[in-house]
Chains A and B, each alone.
Chain A
Amino acid sequence: MSLSLSRRRAFLLALEIGTPILVVVLWYALSANSTSFYFPPLSRMLDSFKDNWLFARFSSDVIPSLVRLILGYVISVAVAVPFGVLLGLSPTARRATSPIVEFLRAIPAPALIPFGIVVMGIGNTMKIFIIVMVCVWPIMLNTIDGIRAVDPQLIDTAKAYRTGTWDRLRYVILPAAMPQIFAGMRTSLSLAVILMVISEMVASTNGIGYFVLQSQRTFAIPDMWSGIILLGLLGFGLNVLFGIFESRALAWHRGARSAAR
Protein backbone atom coordinates (compact mmCIF):
# COMPACT_ATOMS: atom_id res chain seq x y z
CA MET A 1 0.00 0.00 0.00
CA SER A 2 2.61 2.51 1.07
CA LEU A 3 4.96 1.27 -1.62
CA SER A 4 2.38 1.75 -4.34
CA LEU A 5 1.59 5.17 -2.84
CA SER A 6 5.22 6.26 -2.99
CA ARG A 7 5.44 4.82 -6.49
CA ARG A 8 2.43 6.82 -7.51
CA ARG A 9 4.02 9.92 -6.05
CA ALA A 10 7.25 9.28 -7.97
CA PHE A 11 5.24 8.80 -11.12
CA LEU A 12 3.40 12.12 -10.63
CA LEU A 13 6.68 13.91 -10.00
CA ALA A 14 8.19 12.39 -13.14
CA LEU A 15 5.08 13.50 -15.03
CA GLU A 16 5.41 17.03 -13.67
CA ILE A 17 9.05 17.30 -14.74
CA GLY A 18 8.78 15.17 -17.86
CA THR A 19 5.86 16.88 -19.56
CA PRO A 20 7.48 20.32 -19.96
CA ILE A 21 10.70 18.67 -21.17
CA LEU A 22 8.73 16.69 -23.71
CA VAL A 23 6.92 19.83 -24.90
CA VAL A 24 10.22 21.69 -25.36
CA VAL A 25 11.79 18.74 -27.20
CA LEU A 26 8.78 18.48 -29.51
CA TRP A 27 8.79 22.22 -30.11
CA TYR A 28 12.52 22.08 -30.83
CA ALA A 29 12.13 19.15 -33.27
CA LEU A 30 8.99 20.38 -35.03
CA SER A 31 10.22 23.95 -35.43
CA ALA A 32 13.68 22.94 -36.61
CA ASN A 33 12.85 23.38 -40.29
CA SER A 34 10.53 26.33 -39.83
CA THR A 35 10.91 29.03 -42.45
CA SER A 36 8.18 31.22 -40.98
CA PHE A 37 9.40 34.73 -40.27
CA TYR A 38 7.22 35.04 -37.16
CA PHE A 39 7.85 31.58 -35.72
CA PRO A 40 11.56 30.94 -36.15
CA PRO A 41 13.04 27.60 -35.05
CA LEU A 42 13.40 27.25 -31.30
CA SER A 43 17.12 26.79 -31.77
CA ARG A 44 17.36 30.35 -33.13
CA MET A 45 15.35 31.72 -30.23
CA LEU A 46 17.65 29.95 -27.80
CA ASP A 47 20.69 31.33 -29.61
CA SER A 48 19.26 34.82 -29.25
CA PHE A 49 18.47 34.07 -25.63
CA LYS A 50 22.09 33.12 -25.00
CA ASP A 51 23.43 36.13 -26.91
CA ASN A 52 21.15 38.61 -25.17
CA TRP A 53 20.66 37.40 -21.66
CA LEU A 54 23.78 35.37 -20.81
CA PHE A 55 24.83 38.00 -19.93
CA ALA A 56 25.34 40.75 -22.51
CA ARG A 57 22.17 42.69 -21.71
CA PHE A 58 21.78 41.48 -18.18
CA SER A 59 22.97 44.63 -16.49
CA SER A 60 21.59 47.01 -19.13
CA ASP A 61 18.03 45.61 -19.31
CA VAL A 62 17.36 42.86 -16.77
CA ILE A 63 18.73 44.68 -13.74
CA PRO A 64 16.72 47.89 -14.37
CA SER A 65 13.56 45.81 -14.82
CA LEU A 66 14.18 43.87 -11.63
CA VAL A 67 14.90 47.06 -9.68
CA ARG A 68 11.55 48.56 -10.77
CA LEU A 69 9.73 45.35 -10.09
CA ILE A 70 11.17 44.76 -6.64
CA LEU A 71 10.94 48.38 -5.49
CA GLY A 72 7.37 48.68 -6.76
CA TYR A 73 6.39 45.45 -5.08
CA VAL A 74 8.08 46.17 -1.77
CA ILE A 75 6.57 49.65 -1.60
CA SER A 76 3.14 48.17 -2.36
CA VAL A 77 3.42 45.68 0.49
CA ALA A 78 4.79 48.32 2.86
CA VAL A 79 1.90 50.68 2.09
CA ALA A 80 -0.94 48.18 1.70
CA VAL A 81 -0.47 46.05 4.82
CA PRO A 82 -0.53 48.88 7.41
CA PHE A 83 -3.47 50.60 5.70
CA GLY A 84 -5.25 47.27 5.35
CA VAL A 85 -4.76 46.54 9.04
CA LEU A 86 -6.06 49.98 9.97
CA LEU A 87 -9.12 49.68 7.74
CA GLY A 88 -9.69 46.10 8.85
CA LEU A 89 -9.75 47.12 12.50
CA SER A 90 -11.84 50.27 12.17
CA PRO A 91 -15.34 50.04 10.68
CA THR A 92 -15.50 53.85 10.74
CA ALA A 93 -12.32 54.24 8.71
CA ARG A 94 -13.57 51.54 6.36
CA ARG A 95 -16.83 53.35 5.76
CA ALA A 96 -15.12 56.67 5.26
CA THR A 97 -12.60 55.39 2.74
CA SER A 98 -14.46 52.69 0.88
CA PRO A 99 -15.79 54.90 -1.95
CA ILE A 100 -12.30 56.32 -2.50
CA VAL A 101 -10.70 52.89 -2.40
CA GLU A 102 -13.24 51.49 -4.84
CA PHE A 103 -12.73 54.44 -7.19
CA LEU A 104 -8.94 54.29 -7.16
CA ARG A 105 -9.02 50.54 -7.57
CA ALA A 106 -11.31 50.86 -10.59
CA ILE A 107 -8.91 53.08 -12.54
CA PRO A 108 -7.00 50.91 -15.03
CA ALA A 109 -3.41 51.70 -14.12
CA PRO A 110 -2.14 52.03 -17.71
CA ALA A 111 -4.49 55.02 -17.98
CA LEU A 112 -2.26 56.71 -15.41
CA ILE A 113 0.87 56.31 -17.53
CA PRO A 114 0.36 59.57 -19.50
CA PHE A 115 -0.10 61.41 -16.21
CA GLY A 116 2.94 59.66 -14.80
CA ILE A 117 5.09 60.66 -17.77
CA VAL A 118 4.07 64.30 -17.52
CA VAL A 119 4.65 64.54 -13.79
CA MET A 120 7.51 62.10 -13.23
CA GLY A 121 9.13 61.71 -16.62
CA ILE A 122 9.96 58.35 -18.11
CA GLY A 123 12.38 57.22 -15.41
CA ASN A 124 12.04 54.64 -12.67
CA THR A 125 9.77 56.82 -10.52
CA MET A 126 6.96 56.71 -13.05
CA LYS A 127 7.23 52.95 -13.53
CA ILE A 128 7.35 52.22 -9.83
CA PHE A 129 4.35 54.51 -9.36
CA ILE A 130 2.37 52.55 -11.94
CA ILE A 131 3.31 49.22 -10.34
CA VAL A 132 2.33 50.48 -6.88
CA MET A 133 -0.98 51.90 -8.14
CA VAL A 134 -1.99 48.39 -9.18
CA CYS A 135 -0.31 46.17 -6.62
CA VAL A 136 -1.53 47.87 -3.45
CA TRP A 137 -5.20 46.97 -3.98
CA PRO A 138 -5.14 43.17 -3.88
CA ILE A 139 -2.85 43.28 -0.85
CA MET A 140 -4.86 45.94 0.94
CA LEU A 141 -8.26 44.38 0.28
CA ASN A 142 -7.05 40.93 1.30
CA THR A 143 -5.49 42.38 4.45
CA ILE A 144 -8.78 44.10 5.33
CA ASP A 145 -10.71 40.85 4.80
CA GLY A 146 -8.12 38.82 6.67
CA ILE A 147 -8.20 41.13 9.68
CA ARG A 148 -12.00 41.22 9.72
CA ALA A 149 -12.21 37.43 9.53
CA VAL A 150 -10.01 36.78 12.57
CA ASP A 151 -11.90 34.42 14.85
CA PRO A 152 -13.46 36.56 17.64
CA GLN A 153 -12.75 33.70 20.04
CA LEU A 154 -9.01 34.19 19.51
CA ILE A 155 -9.37 37.89 20.25
CA ASP A 156 -11.47 37.13 23.33
CA THR A 157 -8.79 34.74 24.53
CA ALA A 158 -6.15 37.43 24.15
CA LYS A 159 -8.38 39.94 25.89
CA ALA A 160 -9.18 37.57 28.74
CA TYR A 161 -5.45 37.25 29.38
CA ARG A 162 -5.20 41.03 29.22
CA THR A 163 -2.88 41.13 26.26
CA GLY A 164 -2.20 44.78 25.40
CA THR A 165 -3.48 46.29 22.16
CA TRP A 166 -0.11 46.23 20.45
CA ASP A 167 0.73 42.65 21.46
CA ARG A 168 -2.75 41.56 20.45
CA LEU A 169 -2.18 43.03 17.00
CA ARG A 170 1.38 41.77 16.65
CA TYR A 171 1.00 38.24 18.03
CA VAL A 172 -2.67 37.37 17.50
CA ILE A 173 -4.48 39.40 14.84
CA LEU A 174 -1.66 39.76 12.32
CA PRO A 175 -0.59 36.09 12.34
CA ALA A 176 -4.23 35.01 12.07
CA ALA A 177 -4.71 37.26 9.03
CA MET A 178 -1.39 36.28 7.47
CA PRO A 179 -2.67 33.50 5.17
CA GLN A 180 -4.99 35.94 3.47
CA ILE A 181 -2.40 38.71 3.34
CA PHE A 182 -0.15 36.25 1.52
CA ALA A 183 -2.94 35.45 -0.94
CA GLY A 184 -3.07 39.15 -1.83
CA MET A 185 0.70 39.35 -2.10
CA ARG A 186 0.73 36.42 -4.50
CA THR A 187 -1.83 38.07 -6.77
CA SER A 188 0.10 41.33 -6.73
CA LEU A 189 3.37 39.65 -7.63
CA SER A 190 2.03 38.61 -11.05
CA LEU A 191 0.47 42.05 -11.51
CA ALA A 192 3.81 43.69 -10.75
CA VAL A 193 5.46 41.80 -13.61
CA ILE A 194 2.67 42.76 -16.02
CA LEU A 195 2.82 46.44 -15.07
CA MET A 196 6.60 46.48 -15.27
CA VAL A 197 6.41 45.27 -18.88
CA ILE A 198 3.60 47.64 -19.85
CA SER A 199 5.31 50.69 -18.37
CA GLU A 200 8.55 49.77 -20.12
CA MET A 201 6.81 49.35 -23.45
CA VAL A 202 5.07 52.70 -23.30
CA ALA A 203 7.97 54.87 -22.25
CA SER A 204 11.44 53.67 -21.51
CA THR A 205 15.02 53.57 -22.68
CA ASN A 206 15.84 50.16 -21.22
CA GLY A 207 14.30 47.12 -19.56
CA ILE A 208 13.01 43.76 -20.78
CA GLY A 209 9.66 45.18 -21.92
CA TYR A 210 11.46 47.89 -23.86
CA PHE A 211 13.74 45.27 -25.42
CA VAL A 212 10.83 43.11 -26.59
CA LEU A 213 9.12 46.08 -28.26
CA GLN A 214 12.35 47.37 -29.85
CA SER A 215 13.15 43.92 -31.22
CA GLN A 216 9.73 43.72 -32.81
CA ARG A 217 10.11 47.19 -34.33
CA THR A 218 13.47 46.29 -35.84
CA PHE A 219 12.12 42.94 -37.08
CA ALA A 220 14.55 41.06 -34.85
CA ILE A 221 11.94 38.38 -34.25
CA PRO A 222 14.19 35.79 -32.52
CA ASP A 223 15.34 38.54 -30.13
CA MET A 224 11.75 39.43 -29.43
CA TRP A 225 10.96 35.81 -28.65
CA SER A 226 13.98 35.53 -26.39
CA GLY A 227 12.63 38.47 -24.35
CA ILE A 228 9.22 36.83 -24.08
CA ILE A 229 10.81 33.58 -22.92
CA LEU A 230 12.84 35.49 -20.35
CA LEU A 231 9.68 37.16 -19.00
CA GLY A 232 7.98 33.79 -18.70
CA LEU A 233 10.95 32.37 -16.83
CA LEU A 234 11.09 35.45 -14.62
CA GLY A 235 7.42 35.16 -13.65
CA PHE A 236 7.77 31.44 -13.07
CA GLY A 237 10.90 31.91 -10.95
CA LEU A 238 9.30 34.65 -8.85
CA ASN A 239 6.31 32.44 -8.16
CA VAL A 240 8.55 29.58 -7.08
CA LEU A 241 10.50 31.90 -4.75
CA PHE A 242 7.28 33.27 -3.35
CA GLY A 243 5.98 29.76 -2.81
CA ILE A 244 9.11 28.81 -0.84
CA PHE A 245 8.84 31.96 1.26
CA GLU A 246 5.14 31.38 1.88
CA SER A 247 5.51 27.75 2.86
CA ARG A 248 8.18 28.75 5.40
CA ALA A 249 6.20 31.64 6.85
CA LEU A 250 2.87 29.79 6.89
CA ALA A 251 4.06 26.28 7.75
CA TRP A 252 1.63 26.29 10.70
CA HIS A 253 -1.28 27.13 8.41
CA ARG A 254 -0.64 24.23 6.05
CA GLY A 255 -0.21 21.89 8.99
CA ALA A 256 -3.38 23.08 10.69
CA ARG A 257 -5.37 22.80 7.48
CA SER A 258 -4.24 19.28 6.67
CA ALA A 259 -4.85 18.27 10.31
CA ALA A 260 -8.41 19.58 10.07
CA ARG A 261 -9.14 17.33 7.08
Chain B
Amino acid sequence: MLLEVTGLNKTYGQGPGATEAVHNLTFGVQESEFACIVGPSGCGKTTLLRCLAGLLPATRGEVTLRGQRVDRTPDDMALVFQEYSRSLFPWMTVRENVAFPLKRKKHSKAKVKELVDRSLTAVRLDQFADHYPWQLSGGMQQRVAIARALAYEPAILLMDEPFASLDAQTRADLEDLTLQLRTEFGVTIVFVTHDIDEAVYLADRVIALTQRPTQVQEILDIPLPRQRDQLTTKELPEFTQLRAHVYRLIKRPDEVSGRQQPSALTRA
Protein backbone atom coordinates (compact mmCIF):
# COMPACT_ATOMS: atom_id res chain seq x y z
CA MET B 1 0.00 0.00 0.00
CA LEU B 2 1.18 3.47 -0.84
CA LEU B 3 -1.26 5.36 1.35
CA GLU B 4 -2.87 3.76 4.39
CA VAL B 5 -5.59 5.20 6.57
CA THR B 6 -6.14 3.37 9.85
CA GLY B 7 -8.95 4.08 12.30
CA LEU B 8 -9.00 7.76 11.36
CA ASN B 9 -11.26 9.90 13.51
CA LYS B 10 -11.66 13.66 13.50
CA THR B 11 -13.74 15.36 16.16
CA TYR B 12 -14.05 19.13 16.36
CA GLY B 13 -14.29 20.57 19.83
CA GLN B 14 -14.54 18.72 23.11
CA GLY B 15 -17.16 17.60 25.63
CA PRO B 16 -20.87 17.77 24.91
CA GLY B 17 -20.46 20.39 22.15
CA ALA B 18 -18.07 18.24 20.16
CA THR B 19 -18.98 17.29 16.58
CA GLU B 20 -17.62 14.16 15.07
CA ALA B 21 -16.88 14.78 11.39
CA VAL B 22 -15.04 11.57 10.60
CA HIS B 23 -16.07 8.60 12.71
CA ASN B 24 -13.73 5.79 11.83
CA LEU B 25 -12.06 5.30 8.48
CA THR B 26 -9.82 2.52 7.34
CA PHE B 27 -8.76 2.05 3.74
CA GLY B 28 -5.67 1.91 1.57
CA VAL B 29 -4.60 3.23 -1.81
CA GLN B 30 -2.20 1.25 -3.97
CA GLU B 31 0.68 2.49 -6.07
CA SER B 32 -0.51 3.99 -9.40
CA GLU B 33 -4.15 3.48 -8.48
CA PHE B 34 -6.93 5.97 -9.22
CA ALA B 35 -9.11 5.97 -6.10
CA CYS B 36 -12.26 8.05 -5.89
CA ILE B 37 -13.68 8.90 -2.51
CA VAL B 38 -17.35 9.65 -2.94
CA GLY B 39 -19.86 10.56 -0.29
CA PRO B 40 -23.01 12.57 0.26
CA SER B 41 -22.68 16.35 0.30
CA GLY B 42 -21.43 17.64 3.62
CA CYS B 43 -20.22 14.25 4.82
CA GLY B 44 -16.80 15.53 5.82
CA LYS B 45 -14.89 14.81 2.63
CA THR B 46 -12.87 17.98 2.86
CA THR B 47 -12.04 17.25 6.49
CA LEU B 48 -10.87 13.81 5.43
CA LEU B 49 -8.75 15.20 2.63
CA ARG B 50 -7.13 17.76 4.91
CA CYS B 51 -6.29 14.93 7.31
CA LEU B 52 -4.83 12.85 4.46
CA ALA B 53 -2.67 15.81 3.44
CA GLY B 54 -1.45 16.42 6.96
CA LEU B 55 -3.00 19.90 7.01
CA LEU B 56 -5.31 18.90 9.86
CA PRO B 57 -4.27 16.66 12.77
CA ALA B 58 -6.46 13.60 13.27
CA THR B 59 -8.13 13.09 16.64
CA ARG B 60 -7.47 9.34 16.57
CA GLY B 61 -5.94 6.89 14.14
CA GLU B 62 -3.32 7.68 11.56
CA VAL B 63 -2.44 8.20 7.93
CA THR B 64 0.78 6.76 6.55
CA LEU B 65 2.46 7.24 3.19
CA ARG B 66 4.90 4.42 2.37
CA GLY B 67 4.82 3.53 6.06
CA GLN B 68 5.76 7.06 7.15
CA ARG B 69 3.24 8.74 9.42
CA VAL B 70 1.77 11.85 7.79
CA ASP B 71 1.77 14.78 10.20
CA ARG B 72 2.50 17.43 7.60
CA THR B 73 2.16 17.26 3.85
CA PRO B 74 4.76 14.74 2.67
CA ASP B 75 7.40 15.69 0.14
CA ASP B 76 5.99 13.58 -2.64
CA MET B 77 2.35 14.55 -2.23
CA ALA B 78 0.65 17.34 -4.17
CA LEU B 79 -2.78 18.87 -3.75
CA VAL B 80 -5.37 20.33 -6.09
CA PHE B 81 -8.14 22.22 -4.33
CA GLN B 82 -11.68 22.82 -5.46
CA GLU B 83 -11.44 26.57 -5.52
CA TYR B 84 -8.72 27.23 -8.04
CA SER B 85 -9.20 30.98 -7.81
CA ARG B 86 -8.27 30.84 -4.13
CA SER B 87 -5.33 28.49 -4.48
CA LEU B 88 -3.48 30.16 -7.35
CA PHE B 89 -1.50 33.25 -6.43
CA PRO B 90 -2.97 36.18 -8.39
CA TRP B 91 0.26 38.22 -8.18
CA MET B 92 2.21 35.50 -9.98
CA THR B 93 2.01 34.59 -13.65
CA VAL B 94 1.01 31.08 -14.66
CA ARG B 95 4.68 30.12 -14.99
CA GLU B 96 5.56 31.60 -11.60
CA ASN B 97 2.64 29.81 -9.97
CA VAL B 98 3.76 26.46 -11.36
CA ALA B 99 7.40 27.09 -10.48
CA PHE B 100 6.72 28.40 -6.96
CA PRO B 101 6.59 25.04 -5.10
CA LEU B 102 9.82 24.02 -6.83
CA LYS B 103 11.79 26.79 -5.10
CA ARG B 104 12.60 24.67 -2.10
CA LYS B 105 13.56 21.66 -4.20
CA LYS B 106 16.80 23.40 -5.15
CA HIS B 107 16.65 22.30 -8.77
CA SER B 108 18.83 24.04 -11.34
CA LYS B 109 17.16 26.81 -13.33
CA ALA B 110 17.16 24.64 -16.44
CA LYS B 111 15.51 21.78 -14.55
CA VAL B 112 12.79 24.07 -13.20
CA LYS B 113 12.13 25.42 -16.68
CA GLU B 114 11.96 21.90 -18.07
CA LEU B 115 9.51 20.73 -15.39
CA VAL B 116 7.31 23.80 -15.77
CA ASP B 117 7.30 23.64 -19.57
CA ARG B 118 6.55 19.93 -19.55
CA SER B 119 3.61 20.19 -17.19
CA LEU B 120 2.17 23.29 -18.86
CA THR B 121 2.37 21.51 -22.22
CA ALA B 122 0.70 18.47 -20.68
CA VAL B 123 -2.31 20.56 -19.64
CA ARG B 124 -2.14 22.44 -22.97
CA LEU B 125 -1.40 25.82 -21.44
CA ASP B 126 2.11 26.37 -22.81
CA GLN B 127 0.77 29.35 -24.76
CA PHE B 128 -0.44 30.99 -21.56
CA ALA B 129 2.68 30.76 -19.39
CA ASP B 130 3.02 34.52 -19.08
CA HIS B 131 -0.63 35.26 -18.41
CA TYR B 132 -1.96 35.88 -14.94
CA PRO B 133 -4.45 33.34 -13.55
CA TRP B 134 -7.29 35.86 -13.49
CA GLN B 135 -6.89 36.39 -17.21
CA LEU B 136 -7.90 32.75 -17.77
CA SER B 137 -11.22 30.91 -17.66
CA GLY B 138 -12.12 28.71 -14.69
CA GLY B 139 -11.21 25.49 -16.48
CA MET B 140 -7.86 26.91 -17.53
CA GLN B 141 -7.16 28.08 -13.99
CA GLN B 142 -7.79 24.61 -12.65
CA ARG B 143 -5.43 23.26 -15.32
CA VAL B 144 -2.77 25.63 -13.97
CA ALA B 145 -3.32 24.15 -10.51
CA ILE B 146 -2.98 20.65 -11.99
CA ALA B 147 0.18 21.65 -13.85
CA ARG B 148 1.60 23.02 -10.61
CA ALA B 149 0.90 19.71 -8.90
CA LEU B 150 2.50 17.71 -11.74
CA ALA B 151 5.63 19.87 -11.92
CA TYR B 152 6.15 19.06 -8.25
CA GLU B 153 6.68 15.41 -9.31
CA PRO B 154 4.54 13.85 -6.59
CA ALA B 155 4.08 10.12 -6.07
CA ILE B 156 0.52 10.81 -5.00
CA LEU B 157 -1.90 13.53 -6.04
CA LEU B 158 -4.84 14.47 -3.83
CA MET B 159 -7.67 16.24 -5.60
CA ASP B 160 -10.47 17.81 -3.55
CA GLU B 161 -13.61 18.12 -5.71
CA PRO B 162 -11.41 19.78 -8.34
CA PHE B 163 -14.10 20.14 -11.00
CA ALA B 164 -17.10 20.92 -8.81
CA SER B 165 -17.18 24.61 -9.70
CA LEU B 166 -16.81 24.11 -13.45
CA ASP B 167 -19.53 23.76 -16.08
CA ALA B 168 -20.44 20.26 -17.29
CA GLN B 169 -18.54 20.38 -20.58
CA THR B 170 -15.37 21.74 -19.07
CA ARG B 171 -15.66 19.13 -16.34
CA ALA B 172 -15.84 16.30 -18.88
CA ASP B 173 -12.75 17.68 -20.68
CA LEU B 174 -10.81 17.91 -17.45
CA GLU B 175 -11.85 14.41 -16.38
CA ASP B 176 -10.38 13.03 -19.58
CA LEU B 177 -7.30 15.19 -19.21
CA THR B 178 -6.82 13.85 -15.68
CA LEU B 179 -7.02 10.24 -16.90
CA GLN B 180 -4.53 11.02 -19.62
CA LEU B 181 -2.10 12.73 -17.23
CA ARG B 182 -2.35 9.85 -14.84
CA THR B 183 -1.05 7.53 -17.56
CA GLU B 184 1.53 10.02 -18.82
CA PHE B 185 2.98 10.86 -15.40
CA GLY B 186 2.30 7.53 -13.67
CA VAL B 187 0.98 9.26 -10.58
CA THR B 188 -1.32 7.76 -7.95
CA ILE B 189 -4.49 9.81 -7.59
CA VAL B 190 -6.91 10.14 -4.69
CA PHE B 191 -9.88 12.04 -6.00
CA VAL B 192 -12.58 13.32 -3.67
CA THR B 193 -15.97 14.10 -5.22
CA HIS B 194 -19.68 14.12 -4.51
CA ASP B 195 -20.44 13.42 -8.19
CA ILE B 196 -21.29 9.73 -8.54
CA ASP B 197 -20.92 9.65 -12.34
CA GLU B 198 -17.55 11.26 -12.10
CA ALA B 199 -16.36 8.82 -9.43
CA VAL B 200 -17.36 5.71 -11.39
CA TYR B 201 -16.06 7.11 -14.66
CA LEU B 202 -12.61 7.97 -13.32
CA ALA B 203 -11.84 5.39 -10.70
CA ASP B 204 -10.16 2.02 -10.49
CA ARG B 205 -11.75 1.80 -7.09
CA VAL B 206 -14.54 3.78 -5.47
CA ILE B 207 -14.53 4.30 -1.72
CA ALA B 208 -18.10 5.16 -0.75
CA LEU B 209 -18.58 7.04 2.50
CA THR B 210 -21.62 7.38 4.74
CA GLN B 211 -23.26 10.51 6.10
CA ARG B 212 -21.61 12.36 8.93
CA PRO B 213 -20.02 11.10 11.12
CA THR B 214 -18.31 9.54 8.17
CA GLN B 215 -17.20 5.97 7.85
CA VAL B 216 -16.46 3.71 4.91
CA GLN B 217 -19.67 2.23 3.56
CA GLU B 218 -18.26 0.10 0.80
CA ILE B 219 -15.12 -0.21 -1.26
CA LEU B 220 -15.95 -1.10 -4.80
CA ASP B 221 -13.71 -2.23 -7.66
CA ILE B 222 -14.55 -0.66 -11.01
CA PRO B 223 -13.70 -3.35 -13.56
CA LEU B 224 -14.32 -1.10 -16.58
CA PRO B 225 -11.73 -1.10 -19.39
CA ARG B 226 -8.79 1.15 -18.56
CA GLN B 227 -9.29 3.28 -21.65
CA ARG B 228 -12.33 5.38 -20.76
CA ASP B 229 -14.47 7.50 -23.02
CA GLN B 230 -17.22 9.93 -22.07
CA LEU B 231 -19.64 8.29 -24.52
CA THR B 232 -18.75 4.63 -24.94
CA THR B 233 -17.78 3.99 -21.32
CA LYS B 234 -20.94 5.59 -20.03
CA GLU B 235 -23.01 3.51 -22.45
CA LEU B 236 -21.67 0.23 -21.07
CA PRO B 237 -24.24 -1.73 -19.04
CA GLU B 238 -21.58 -2.32 -16.38
CA PHE B 239 -21.17 1.43 -16.01
CA THR B 240 -24.89 1.89 -15.53
CA GLN B 241 -25.03 -0.90 -12.96
CA LEU B 242 -22.04 0.38 -11.03
CA ARG B 243 -23.39 3.88 -11.12
CA ALA B 244 -26.79 2.74 -9.85
CA HIS B 245 -25.14 0.75 -7.09
CA VAL B 246 -23.06 3.67 -5.91
CA TYR B 247 -26.08 5.95 -6.20
CA ARG B 248 -28.01 3.66 -3.85
CA LEU B 249 -25.11 3.56 -1.43
CA ILE B 250 -24.91 7.32 -1.27
CA LYS B 251 -28.49 8.44 -1.71
CA ARG B 252 -30.61 5.58 -0.37
CA PRO B 253 -28.38 3.69 2.03
CA ASP B 254 -31.43 2.10 3.74
CA GLU B 255 -32.37 0.24 0.57
CA VAL B 256 -29.03 -1.50 0.24
CA SER B 257 -29.75 -5.02 1.46
CA GLY B 258 -28.27 -6.24 4.70
CA ARG B 259 -26.59 -2.93 5.34
CA GLN B 260 -27.69 -0.94 8.32
CA GLN B 261 -26.93 2.73 8.51
CA PRO B 262 -26.82 3.54 12.20
CA SER B 263 -25.76 7.11 11.78
CA ALA B 264 -28.33 7.91 9.10
CA LEU B 265 -31.11 6.34 11.17
CA THR B 266 -30.31 8.06 14.40
CA ARG B 267 -29.94 11.39 12.66
CA ALA B 268 -33.11 11.17 10.57
Contact = CB atoms under 8 A, between A and B. Distances in A.
A and B bound? yes
Contacts of B73: 159-162
A154 B83 contact: no
A33 interface: no
Contacts of A178: 91
B134 interface: yes
B239 interface: no
Contact of B55 (A156, A175, A252): A156
Interface stretch (B17-25, B98-106, B163-171, B213-221): B98-106
Interface string B56-84: 00000000000000001101011101010
Contact of B91 (A153, A157, A252, A259): A252
A256 B132 contact: yes
A51 interface: no
B134 A153 contact: no
A151 interface: yes
Contacts of B247: none
A47 interface: no
Interface of A is mostly: helix
A260 B90 CA distance: 12
B128 interface: no
Nearest to A257: B134
A161 B149 CA distance: 9
Interface in A150-203: 151, 153-154, 156-157, 159-164, 167, 171-172, 175-176, 178
Contacts of A164: 104
A163 B104 contact: yes
A50 interface: no
Interface residues of A, number: 23
A260 B89 contact: no
Contacts of B72: 159, 162
Contacts of A154: 86-87, 89
B59 to A, nearest CB: 19
Interface string B164-187: 000000000000000000000000
Contacts of A151: 86
Given A163-B104, A252-B132, A175 B89 contact: yes
B104 A171 contact: no
Given A151-B86, A255-B134, 19 more contacts: A153-B81, A153-B87, A154-B87, A156-B55, A156-B81, A157-B87, A159-B55, A160-B73, A160-B79, A161-B78, A167-B103, A167-B104, A171-B100, A172-B89, A175-B89, A256-B132, A259-B134, A259-B135, A260-B134
18 contacts: A153-B87, A156-B81, A159-B55, A160-B73, A160-B77, A161-B78, A161-B79, A161-B101, A162-B73, A162-B75, A163-B101, A163-B104, A167-B103, A253-B91, A255-B132, A255-B135, A259-B135, A260-B134
